[in-house]
């Protein structure tokens, strides 16, 4: 696997080693030992989540706080998404900045998102199946969100806002600065 640092401390792009031949391909999507060796992080993922969404579906920006804060390892199993991580660690030099990356079943890249980030994605392909490995269990009382179109963060979602498909919850998330503090 190849591990690349981003401009935001803690966010890592993980590209697996893929073995391809005339039969198809094989790769380890996750190996705890290799992950620890290459990243220096000893993460215990305890929950896997999967979503299927159509073009324009925007999920986010979500996070969990307190004892239920989550680190995530995310990837697209099928299709193509624009994945977004926003640094909401108040003492971070990149507080309020975001990182974006296209994740797809073609590039097979993954993004490791440590605790202290809001996360979201928008589907760029007709359909996408998206996978999240989480190091903590979901807890409704600890969830928070930031509105997807916050002008302070100013995310370029790569598709017109008129194409977005949003949940009622995601339409009503608070603005950055009014979110639950991490």
Residue that is written with structure tokens 């790769």 in the block? 27
Spot the catalytic one: 62, 63, 98, 179: 62
Q: Is 62 a catalytic residue?
A: yes
What b/e sequence results for 103-121 when a residue is b if at least 16 CB atoms lie within 10 Å of its CB, and e otherwise?
bbeeebbbbbbbbbbbbbb
Q: Which of 15, 18, 20 is nearest to 1 (CA)?
A: 15
Q: For residue 66, give the DSSP letter.
A: G
Q: How far apart are CA 118 and CA 182, in angstroms?
A: 10
Q: How far apart are CA 5 and CA 98, in angstroms?
A: 14
**Residue 83: is it exposed, middle or buried by C-beta count within 10 angstroms (0-12/13-18/19+)?**
buried
Spot the catalytic one: 63, 98, 119, 132: 132
Q: Is 148 a catalytic residue?
A: no
Q: Which of 126, 100, 117, 128 is nearest to 182 (CA)?
A: 117
Active site residues: 62, 132
């Amino acid at each position: 696997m190849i591990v690349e640092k981003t401009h935001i401390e803690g966010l890592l792009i993980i590209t697996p080693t893929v073995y391809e031949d005339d039969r198809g391909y094989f790769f380890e999507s996750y190996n705890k030992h290799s992950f620890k060796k290459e990243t220096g992080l000893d993460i215990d993922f305890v929950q896997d989540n999967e979503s299927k969404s159509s073009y324009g579906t925007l999920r986010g920006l979500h996070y969990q706080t307190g004892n239920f804060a989550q680190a995530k390892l995310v990837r697209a199993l099928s299709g193509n998404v624009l994945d977004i991580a926003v640094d909401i660690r108040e003492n971070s030099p990149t507080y309020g900045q975001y990182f974006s990356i296209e994740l797809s079943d073609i590039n097979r890249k993954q993004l490791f998102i440590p605790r202290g980030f809001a996360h979201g994605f928008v589907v760029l392909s007709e359909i996408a199946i998206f996978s999240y490995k989480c190091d903590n269990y979901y807890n409704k009382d600890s969830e928070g969100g930031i509105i997807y179109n916050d002008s302070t963060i100013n995310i370029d979602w790569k598709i017109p806002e008129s194409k977005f498909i949003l949940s009622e919850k995601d339409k009503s998330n608070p603005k950055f600065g009014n979110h639950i503090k991490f």
